[in-house]
Amino acid sequence: MKRISTGTIGRFTLVVRPEHLANRFKDSILPPVLATPVMIMAMENAALNAARSYLEPGESVVGTTVNIQHLAATVVGQTVTATAEVTAVDGRRIAFAVSASDEIEEIGKGTHERMVIEVARLRQRLDAKIARLADTQAAPR
């Protein structure tokens, strides 16, 4: 990875659609509002966008820590803008201050960390895990 500076900012925008709502995939009695995991996804994508241009070919960043407050509800049709600012870099670990707002107010804030990984190496580890899983499922009980 190329050196990324603190203060680097990434953004991600999402128009809230019915499939993003808490009452669609969590609890059907909830009002039709943006689900917290979807807001977090927008924040994670903003962090990815902050780091993207600093990655070498074959590298990516994966989330390792999320500490988020969901502050306000957002309804279908509103636009959520998530922002991530690099606050620290320690080797392959990148820390971010993240926030999300709709057209009216701030809806979430917190911190997030991502780790730079080599995609091919991760794929090898996953293939080995899949093989181990297949072995455990094939073993007689």
Residue 44 among the catalytic residues: yes
CB 98, CB 46: distance < 8 Å:
yes
Counting Cβ atoms within 10 Å, is residue 103 exposed (0-12), middle (13-18) or buried (19+)?
exposed
Compute the distance between CA of residue 114 and CA of residue 28 in angstroms, rounded to an integer. 32
* DSSP reduced 3-state for 108: strand
Q: Which of 8, 44, 83, 113 is catalytic?
A: 44
Is 36 an active-site residue? yes
Catalytic status, residue 20: no
Query: What secondary structure letter does DSSP report for 7?
Result: T
Q: H-helix or E-strand containing 38?
A: helix 36-51
Contact between 1 and 116 under an 8 Å Cβ cutoff? The reply is yes
Catalytic residue among 8, 20, 59, 70: 70
**Residues annotated as catalytic (active site), given as ranges:** 36, 44, 70
